[in-house]
Structure 1
Amino acid sequence: MPQMNMQQMMKQARKMQEKLAATEEKLAQTEVTASAGGGMVKVVATGDLHITSVEIAPEAVDPDDVDLLQDMVLAAVNDALTQAQQLASQQMGAITGGLNIPGLM
């Protein structure tokens, strides 16, 4: 069985590391948007799982039904984070060949 040249292996590892860093930077700049309540609550998150904005339509604010607004915000945030996580998994998986490397998204 042929052995891989250690220098060649290190070169490939550096190349993968560079691709991962570039992908992480791209994810930090890529946004996903989720909404709930028929669009009354919108949440934007980045691919590195940061919420960047929450928009609440004025008609969603009913002082007599705060629970509904809270549920809509929670649903939109969870959906945005799920989308961002899926985006990160897809892009990182394309680089790592589907390997689950600890410390990566």
Structure 2
Amino acid sequence: MSKKPNFGAMGGMNMQQMMKQAKKMQDQMAQEQQNITSQEFVGKSAEDLVTATLTGDHRLKNLEIDQEAIDPDDPDMLQDLIIDAVNKGLRGIDEATQASLGKYTKGMI
């Protein structure tokens, strides 16, 4: 009579336990992603002349431009301020995502 290999046990955890743990982690990740998506992130340009509000799913929700930023003779300055504010808001989303979900992906890449 040959002895069957024990494929179900891996380090004391059977396949069913591993699948249950993976599902739990997947649910936690989805919940954390949902939390980020429901938040708003604000980016402000130099001197707070432009404020961009973004949702956690990378959508621009609001853009406020201070009157001082509007110079008809220098439209490039306003463009730069808008880009700066939006990029800072996007960076906030990325940082929150990394802080929240990075613990799950650490060492995977």
**What range describes the TM-score normalised by the shorter chain of this pair?**
0.7 to 0.9
Moved over 6 A (4+): none
Q: 2:38 aligns with which of 29, 46, 56?
A: 29
Q: So what's the TM-score if we normalise by structure 2?
A: 0.81
Cα shift at 1:97: 5.7
How large is the Cα RMSD of the aligned pairs?
1.8
User: For structure 1, which runs of at least 5 residues remain unmatched after alignment?
Assistant: none
Distance 1:31 1:99, change over 3 A: farther
Assess if the C-alpha contact under 8 Å between 1:48 and 1:88 holds in 2.
no
Corresponding position of 1:62: 71
**Where does residue 106 of structure 2 map in the other structure?**
98
- What stretches of structure 2 of length at least 5 have no aligned partner? 1-9
**Where does 1:1-80 land on structure 2 (aligned, <5 Å)?**
2-80=11-89
Corresponding residue pairs, total: 100
Native 8 Å contact 1:37 1:72 kept in 2: yes
Tell me by how many angstroms 1:3 deviates: 4.7
Distance in 1 separating the partners of 2:58 and 2:50: 18
In 2, the alpha carbon distance for the partners of 1:43 and 1:49 equals 11
User: Which of 79, 96, 100 lines up with 1:87 in the alignment?
Assistant: 96
Q: State the distance in 1 between where 2:59 and 2:106 align.
A: 24
TM-score, length basis structure 1: 0.84
Secondary structure of 1:62's partner? coil
- Report the residue type matching 1:56 in the other structure: I
| Cα deviation digits, residues 6-43 of structure 1 (max 9, x gap) | 00000001101111111111111112211113111001
